[in-house]
Amino acid sequence: MADTPKRRSQDKSADTATTNPKCYCVRCGTAFSRKKGYFPVSHSPMYRGSGHLPWCNDCIEEMYEEYVRDLGDKEAMRRMCMKMDLYWSESIYAMVERSAGTNSRIRNYIGKTNIIRYIDKTFDDTLREEAANAEPVDRFQFPVQEGEEDAEDDIPTDPAIVEFWGPGFDHDFYMELDQKVDIPLLVYNIPYRTCVNMTADTLAYLTEHMKHLVGIKECNNSPAQAIDMIRRVGSKINFLSGEEFLSVMLMALGAKGAVMASANLIPDVWVKIHHLVREHQTQEAMDLFGNYTELIAAMFSETNPGPLKYGMDLIGVPCGSTAIPLTPVSDAAAGRMKKAMQELQLI
């Protein structure tokens, strides 16, 4: 059998001498004498002017094969539909699967989109149908604890707070932890980093029910929540403030102490403050704290512990660099730290 030249070159040479204007494939640039037979029929309003897709059959097959290599057959077919504004449907795909036509699979598919049932549909219909059939996304709902409604009658929680932070983990989460370990447990409540707040209600429940709970490091910067916690559980567990700017007040109100990042830099100051508060010398404690507010503000002007690590370097206690995603101190924060430390004669 003699070699048959490829259809494209056949067409090219044949068309050159015939009809004008020519039909060009927008991908390969080949000129054809007519659309029919060389470009698939399209009923998409995108191609209303010609009634055909602007890619020749060969190009469509090539593009499809490229997608098949990357995406597999079915997804390749859907992607082609998206590109060509054809209706994508699982049922047409199933028909292609079943048929044994001589056309390539993609041309087989395109042919079936032109049967009467699908003729007016485009990829917009696909998107509409997929959106209509999509499973609604359920927000996870924490189960309501027995007796929780009563507890909430005691101190009403501002709905705006719950809306913002969510209700937090449910009691079972902590109770399970309590059963699995045999070590003292300290709650670390830091919602601005974890996006989950432990409410005073939850803490009160856990204080009653957990075997291993010994205290909380409270970093929610709401004084109202902290005070509520101290009032309800402060005599049973160790309430420790984790917020520099609230801790003197909270210790005066009954917090047992504080867990302070800045205590790395000025441990003696915090020991003194704690001692003064225990001796009911609250004003002296406040005055002493007042001297260090600019340093502490500088420390937290960027994400802790970047500025703190810089400060530790300055006092000769190098603590290494920050680990990603935390970033090292900026020049501005470093300058502010250094100035504050100089004024306090820490360096």
- Which residues make up the interface to Zn ion (CB under 5 A)? 25, 27-28, 56, 59
Q: Which residues of 82-102 are buried (b: 16+ CB within 10 A; e: fewer)?
A: eebbbbbbeebbeebeeeeee
d(CA 186, CA 216): 5
- The yes-or-no answer on residue 83 being catalytic is no
- Smallest separation (angstroms) from Zn ion to the CB of 52: 12
Residue number with CB closer to Zn ion (66 or 120):
66
d(CA 271, CA 30): 84
- The yes-or-no answer on residue 36 being catalytic is no
- Smallest separation (angstroms) from Zn ion to the CB of 103: 16
- Smallest separation (angstroms) from Zn ion to the CB of 196: 56
The residues, ordered by sequence, that sit 6+ positions from 171 with a Cβ below 8 Å of its Cβ are 145, 202, 205, 206, 209
Provide the token pair at 47.
Answer: 């191609």
Contact by Cβ (8 Å): 239, 233: yes
Residue number with CB closer to Zn ion (56 or 258):
56
- Smallest separation (angstroms) from Zn ion to the CB of 61: 10
User: Which of 182, 254, 175, 176 is closest to 208 using CA atoms?
Assistant: 175
Provide the token pair at 35.
Answer: 């659309």
Q: Which of 188, 256, 272, 338 is catalytic?
A: 188
- Smallest separation (angstroms) from Zn ion to the CB of 138: 47
Sign of the CA dihedral with 116 first, then 117, 122, and 123 last: negative
Residue number with CB closer to Zn ion (26 or 82):
26
Residue number with CB closer to Zn ion (51 or 254):
51
Angle between helix axes 105-113 and 57-71 (nearest 10 degrees) is 110
Q: Which of 217, 292, 309, 310 is catalytic?
A: 217
The residues, ordered by sequence, that sit 6+ positions from 169 with a Cβ below 8 Å of its Cβ are 142, 196, 198, 202
Residue number with CB closer to Zn ion (28 or 82):
28
Please list the active-site residues. Answer: 188, 217
